[in-house]
Structure 1
Amino acid sequence: MTDTGFGVPDYDDAAVARIRAFVEEVTGGRIVRMERQVRWRPAWFADVEKDGAIIPLHLRGDRAGDVAIFPELRREADIIAILHRQGLPVPRIYGYLADPPCIVMESIRGTRDLSGLDPETLGLVGREYMRAVAAMHAVPLAPFVEKGVERPEGAEDIALVGLRAYLPHYLRTRRKAEPMLDFVIGWIQRNVPRHRTEASFIQFDSGQFLVEDGRMTQLYDFEFSMIGDPLFDLATMGMRNSYEPLGAPLPELVRYYEEATGKPVDHDAILFHVLQFSTLGTMQFAGTVAEPRPGDPHSVYLQFDLSLRRSVLLALSRLSGVPLPELSPLPARVGDNAALIAKLRDTVSGIAAADPGAEAQKAQAIELIEWVSRADDFGAGIVAQDIADVAALLGRPFPDWASAEAALEDFVRRAPPERDSDLITLFGRIEGRRMQVHGPTSIGEAAEHVVLPQTY
């Protein structure tokens, strides 16, 4: 097994042959179809014939790159198997192959496209989904702990289990000064909801389920699952809902969850976890965004980074009561390298892709060219404004953004809480300008749709 140079391990012919043999061993059948998904991690759909019937499977491989918080794929297989034994609507696990890493699981029926469903059906789907989430939050914790999942105790550990899981990865992979992240990490640690003392198993990156014939089928994707505050799942599903609708409107989903649990939700605690989850996602990709690794799906990571930073500031503004600044529109400008960038776009567009994987690489290249074009138009002017704002706050000039950013990070680490308002306003300007530059691109489109739900 080698590396493709595109951020995923190359499950070469020999590796795929081992997967095929393992699938047939654990199912007792014969593979009659195996189709690879085009995405940033290796995965396949397979049909296995056994006793005249077809068993539809999903084969989930391991993603490469330095973005994994829990790098052992077996961990996810163990978690899904526990949930399945507890009667939760998740795929059956047939087996786990260590070399190459691959989870052999039941293929979930359905789709995430809910656009054709009427309001009544959407409400039914939403109620089914929230009942499943409530049931997941009620499962016993001992089996997960036996498999090595950390069980936090006390309000601070429960609230910050995600931050503490992500922090070692962030400190190891960061490649430059990150003043906003350092500030928000400190703010989160200073503002823990001290009354939240009950922990549950949580999906963490929630809102992932499929629908078929107007009914929810199963939950999927437990890569980042933990034990923590159950309201973390409501926070993350609200964020997902802004770009991938979950069926019923968010206030209805929250009400269905309250009905299923018999307890009112704490909206301020949910908002705290919106802030934390957005921060953790930004931390996860900070290193590769700052210093892209060969083969990384960089346009995907830029999209995550832009969207998550916007969510961080929206939640921080709501929680702190500090309004984000309004910015003047960008002036019309054509960059100095516009003609060359246009020719580069034309050249890449004319390349014939040999297969779906190459077509995906080509599409990402075109997205990055669009991003570079906007940076060419506005980047220098925006950086000059950012440097001027930092210089005004710190009372001294800087020759470039790297030195200004490093000085701001040092200030953040020493600043008392009385400076929170000044710093939130400053980060609002810096990230707001970045949104102005890159929001109107195909990469930035998702970030422009990020809103803070009024339910929170």
Structure 2
Amino acid sequence: MTAMTAGGATGDGADAIREWIAANIGGAITRFEPIARWRQAWEVDVDRGGEQLRLHVRGERGSGLDNRPLRREFDALGHLAASGIPVPRLFGWCDNPRAIIMENLADTPFLGNLDGDPQLQSMVEDYAAIMADIHRLDPAPFAAMGIEAPVGAEAVATEYLEFAEGIYDETPHPPNALIAFCRGWLRRHLPLHRERLAPVIGDAPQFFHDGGRVTAIYDLELVKLADPMLDIASIRLRDTNEPIADVEAVLARYEREMGEPLDQAALSYYTVLLFIAVPMISTPALAPRPHPALVEYLSWFLASSRGAIEAVAEAKGIALDPVEKVEKASTVHDGAFEDLVAQCADLQPSGFIRQAPALALAYYVRNANALAAPIDAADRADARALLGIDADPAVNLDSILEDFVVQASPEQDEALVRLFHRRAMRQLQLLEDYPAPIVNRGLQPLRRRR
């Protein structure tokens, strides 16, 4: 999630893209439309002597989160296509600006299955079979593209952890005890019994379908050589915001295709890692002011923090208790914030944003006005009851907890997991008016493997 951007119809590389299309594809451009996303992108229609071509031009992200060379994605798509994996047709690579020119599919992207449509569920399971095909591919051609191949079990396990830690540690940030706890837990639970490397997608499941079958997988910017359990964990992460009706059935399909059970310890590790990497990597993306979509970013930051601690609880067999909602407090500013919400109520979202950013922000500050003090009081009461920490209200509780976590023994894990879960659920109350599944949908339970 870098800041949202939209390349224009001219300038910002658009003129060079037009020239590339003229030189390499030919025909007359009949539509050239920018797309507001995390990267520069355009949808382009071309009439080539009566042949109608629909193109998608995928540019590089700006500076920010988890950026990987775009050329790597282009090369990976080409190799996958040659290996029989369904991907969009490639028309070519533009060097300046760096962009992939590919088919703009008329099919439907999978964006979740909240209603439990059995046909969609079946296609997600088919995606798992495609993923298994990718995991069986020879890693050597991917290494030849410049994709790093970690050597040894520890390097395989820590490659993405160290990537996320690097971004987080280099970015000025306030104390965050939950992140500190998860980092420590991961270091104590490295899956050192596994060294297998495979091509992995890194952000599954994303695919197009025609209503009955998967027609192409897409968005392979995170392709890497890693433990295949990372891909399985990514399905669990993406399920929180693009819900899958039955995650267990998807994973069971993968197991049947691979002919072996999932590795529970490795899956637990990568599930915690992928969830906690979201707030770590997104920390710099929360900094811009004014922010283009603060609440959208906060929804990922806060909900993924919850998912990480739920994943630790799952790994340790801790049954988490329901968290009682904090009661809102009245303040002298209530009327002003209600008026702010009313003034923004008619604003409409655009693009992929689920709620107009100004309206989402109005709801957020209204809730913060009523909940900030009660949430802080509840957090401090928990710290006293569970850990014996009696912090002065003038002192940052996260700073105290972060110091506590660094010194804590594994025997204190359960108390910390319960504390962090309660804190995460209370923070999500601030987003209760944001219409994204991730705000209310936690980590979905799975049958425990050996």
Q: TM over 0.5: same fold?
A: yes
Structure 2 contact 88–105 (Cα < 8 Å) conserved: yes
Superposition pairs of residues 296-315 of structure 1, within 5 angstroms: 296-315=292-311
Residue 414 in 1 paired to residue 424 in 2?
Answer: no
* Conservation of the 8 A alpha-carbon contact between 1:38 and 1:360: no
**CA distances 1:8-53 after superposition (whole Å, capped 9, x unpaired):** 2654722212222122323233322223334343322222222421
Change in 2 beyond 3 A, CA 1:9/1:99: farther
Alpha-carbon deviations, 1:421-444, whole Å to 9, x = none? 232222122212213x22522156
Following TM superposition, by how much is the alpha carbon of 1:133 offset from its aligned partner in structure 2, in angstroms?
A: 0.7
Asked if 1:82 corresponds to 2:75, the answer is: no
Question: Which amino acid in structure 2 is aligned with residue 315 of structure 1?
Answer: A
Q: 1:209–1:7: structure 2 CA closer, same or farther, 3 Å change rule?
A: closer
2:168 aligns with one of 158, 170, 185: 170
Q: Distance in 1 between matches of 2:432 and 2:94?
A: 43
Distance 2:36 2:6 in 1: 13
- Deviation per CA, 1:72-91: give whole Å up to 9, x if none: 33332232233223322112
Query: In the alignment, which of 190, 193, 215 is matched to residue 192 of structure 1?
Result: 190
CA distance in 2, matches of 1:361, 1:319: 32
**1:143: Cα distance to partner?**
2.1
Distance 1:243 1:9, change over 3 A: closer
Residue 434 of structure 2 is aligned with which of 406, 425, 442?
Answer: 442
The structure-2 alpha-carbon separation of the partners of 1:165 and 1:240, relative to structure 1 and needing over 3 Å to count, comes to same
Question: Is the 1:134–1:261 contact (alpha carbons within 8 Å) kept by the matching residues of 2?
Answer: yes
2:416 equivalent among 417, 420, 423 = 423
CA contact (8 A) 1:349 1:362 kept: no
User: Residue type matched to 1:453 in 2?
Assistant: P
| RMSD of equivalent CA atoms | 2.9
**Cα displacement (A) at 1:347:** 3.3
| Distance change >3 Å, CA 117–CA 363, structure 1 → 2 | closer
| Change over 3 Å in CA distance of 1:189–1:223 after alignment to 2 | same
Q: Which amino acid aligns with 1:222?
A: L
Gaps of 5+ in 2: none
Residues 454 and 264 of structure 1, relative CA distance in 2, 3 Å threshold: closer
What is the TM-score of this pair, normalised by structure 1?
0.87
Q: State the Cα deviation string for residues 362-398 of structure 1 (Å, max 9, x = none).
A: 8111011101111111111211332344466364533
More off after superposition, 309-318 vs 439-448: 439-448
The AA in structure 2 aligned to 1:438 is L
Question: Runs of 4+ in structure 1 displaced over 4 angstroms?
Answer: 9-12, 113-118, 359-362
- 1:230-286 Cα deviation digits (max 9, x unpaired): 122122213323442457x32332232122222222234323221111011121113
Q: CA deviation at 1:309?
A: 1.3
| Percent pairwise identity | 29
Q: Which amino acid aligns with 1:207?
A: P
**Partner in structure 1 of residue 92 of structure 2:** 95
SS in 2 for 1:131: helix
Output the amino acid matched with 2:364. Answer: W
Is 1:239–1:450's contact at 8 Å kept on the other side of the alignment? no
Match of 1:264 in 2: 261
TM-superposition CA deviations, 1:59-113 (whole Å, max 9, x none): 11233352x2225333322322332233221123323334434321122342126
Note the 1:97-246 alignment, pairs <5 A. 97-111=94-108, 112=110, 119=118, 121-122=119-120, 124-246=122-244
Q: Cα 1:362–1:88, aligned 2, differ >3 Å: closer, same or farther?
A: closer
Is residue 9–residue 63 contact of structure 1 (8 Å, CA) maintained in 2?
Answer: no
Contact 1:7 1:64 in 2 (8 A): no
For 1:287-366, list aligned pairs within 5 A.
287-289=284-286, 291-349=287-345, 363-366=356-359
- Aligned amino acid, residue 398 of structure 2: E
2:362 equivalent in structure 1:
369
Aligned residues: 443
Aligned partner letter, 1:100 = P
- In 1, the alpha carbon distance for the partners of 2:289 and 2:95 equals 25
Moved more, 415-424 or 222-231: 415-424
Alpha-carbon distance between aligned partners in 2 of 1:160 and 1:6, rounded to the nearest angstrom: 27
Structure 1 residues 270 and 342, CA, compared in 2 at 3 Å: closer, same or farther? same
- Structure 2: distance between partners of 1:117 and 1:29: 43
Distance 2:346 2:260 in 1: 58
Deviations 1:197-229 (A, max 9, x none): 211111111110111041110111112222111
Say if 1:348 and 1:440 are closer, same or farther in 2 by CA, change over 3 A: closer
* Alpha-carbon shift at residue 420 of structure 1 (Å): 1.8
Cα offset for 1:448? 0.5
After TM superposition, give the deviation of residue 317 of structure 1 in Å: 0.8
User: What amino acid is aligned across from residue 253 of structure 2 in structure 1?
Assistant: Y
Match of 1:405 among 395, 398, 407: 398
Once residues 123 and 135 of structure 1 are traced to their aligned partners in structure 2, the CA distance between those partners, rounded to angstroms, is 19
Name the aligned partner's letter for residue 374 of structure 1: N
**Secondary structure of the structure 2 residue equivalent to 1:306:** helix
What is the TM-score of this pair, normalised by structure 2? 0.88
Aligned residues of 1:155 and 1:194 also touching (Cα < 8 A): yes
One-letter code of the match for 2:90?
I
Letter in 2 for 1:322: I
1:263 and 1:276 mapped to 2: Cα distance?
23
Paired residues of 2:35 and 2:43 also in contact (CA < 8 A): yes
